[in-house]
Structure 1
Amino acid sequence: MDEAALIRAAQAGDQDAFEHLVRNYDQNVLRLAMNLLRSPEDAYDVYQEAFLRVYRNLQSFRFDCSFHTWLYRIVTNLCLDHLRKKKVRKTESTIMETEDGPLDRLDSLPEQRAHGDPQRSLLSRELRGKIEEALTGMTARERMVFEMRHYQGMRLRAIGEALGTTEEAAKNCLFRATQKMRSALGEFV
């Protein structure tokens, strides 16, 4: 079944069709929420709430936009609401406690290209830190637009639709986010 047929079947009450839609988008929704909120617990909460809202409101989906855009709008709105409620732009530390003491999660990720080159490995860690710092310095909307464009591969028009704004506004927001990223990266660019 194509996506439109799945949506119509789910609107008619077909649970298997709805489950298929969820499976098609669940990883992307979770990834987007995780990238925007920087907290696994918060991302899972938004993930669950997003699909609950889709289930409750699927009858109102009228094919005016793509299902993908409609779903991403729900996720981004939930993320923005969540960030507003927290009233702080705090990210989860990459440092976690283990039996052997503190461990930086970024250091535990395998990096084959820099594996045999300690200098390259050090530069890679520094770059990751600068990117995290730049993302933290962005507004929630800038970070969302940046993440949707560069990590999700979405086009500006789709980002604008997902955020309930124009393509031009999304483009301007991306420009500001990119400028902040370039400024934070300094010598790396």
Structure 2
Amino acid sequence: MDEKQLLLKAQEGDIESFENVLSTYQNYIYNVIYRIVDVKEDALDLTQETFIKAYINLKKFRGNSEFKTWLYRIAVNVSLDFIRKKKGVEEQLEEISDFRTPEDIFDDKVTRKIIIDELNKLKSEYKIVLILRDIEGLTYNEIAKITNTNIGTVKSRISRARNILKENLKKIPGFINAVEERG
């Protein structure tokens, strides 16, 4: 029997005819899937899934294309779905690994409060440029316009403010080491 006759019998429910057709394409489909997913065990599972989907949808096959082409399309779709799901799981695992505990959040709030308290102790000329640059993200030109000073003065005030802030934070017992340990 040729492939068309086997497919007609398979569409009528003859599983043996379907298995005969699939045996022709089993290695081909496995190789296609393996090239997409690159994991032997996954490729074997997806090959089986492809054949199950092909059997379930066999009555929809109208013969407008070759059976091999139709089967290939199913295999590619099954593989792409698998990759999307796997990627989604990996992203979820990444999100879980990036999960911050309440202690981490509390530590960040305490750190932020300490820095703000020390920032508030700076002279206003230093505090303003540091806030505009490091918190607001403004450029040196923008800061110079806002403070009505030249860029050189802005750069030197920012540098001086950072050094003063750093020195003041070093004076707080264990603060710099705790911040560095958390990364």
Question: Larger relative CO (CA 8 A, sep 6+): 1 or 2?
Answer: 1
Which one has the bigger helix percentage?
Answer: 2
Please classify the TM superposition score into its range, dividing by the shorter chain length. Answer: 0.3 to 0.5
TM-score, L = length of structure 2: 0.46
Structure number with larger C-alpha Rg: 2
